[in-house]
Chain A
């Protein structure tokens, strides 16, 4: 089955610790995105990557870092510098080449990881 997987589904961390959230896709999509969701605020873009070994900051990148060493993987690290990390984190991907079942303008989302800082 093609899709986007995020692990773990629930994650707990102690204040002051770094934590890495996984995002993997087997859709052969070029572009990948990380969003943060807080109640009543919709989703906000953290980082995005349009090709391997390249990524750009989104609207709320402070306290986060990413890497894009492989096309299928785009891990997000929440560092201790992120002042309010408790949130629901969503990963998305998008094809840059039109196909039978995908279009280049649409992002497809993973199931999300809920991070709680204790």
Chain B
């Protein structure tokens, strides 16, 4: 079975500062990895994903993440935070089609951006 751990349920950053959200996973097979963002009382929007190929993945809104197999990590970064980045972010893992593409989510990290 797979699992996901997001370190820090709340992160506070200043506008213009680096955003770093940590995600570690455990999986018995090479996983697919996802980052989703959720604004208050809304559904989830896909930020980026890793399935195969290049380990540095670029997503929407200036976010990127790097898959590091040796560290079982998929941390999310953005060089310069914007007020509109205030939201909750979820890391998720899937074992792909053989397992119905079911997603296992981390507990989420809520980002607060200070002016």
Contact = CB atoms under 8 A, between A and B. Distances in A.
Our verdict on whether A and B bind, yes or no, reads: yes
Interface of A: 4, 6, 31, 33, 35, 40-45, 48, 50, 56, 58, 88, 90, 92, 94, 104-112, 114
B90 A105 contact: no
Interface residues of B, number: 27
Interface of B: 4, 9, 32, 34, 36, 41-46, 49, 51, 90, 92, 94, 96-97, 100-108
Contacts, number: 63
Given A42-B108, A43-B90, A109-B44, A31 B101 contact: yes
A90 B43 contact: yes
A105 B106 CA distance: 18
Given A40-B9, A41-B107, A58-B102, A112 B97 contact: no
Nearest to A9: B41
B106 A42 contact: yes
Given A31-B101, A43-B90, A110 B43 contact: yes
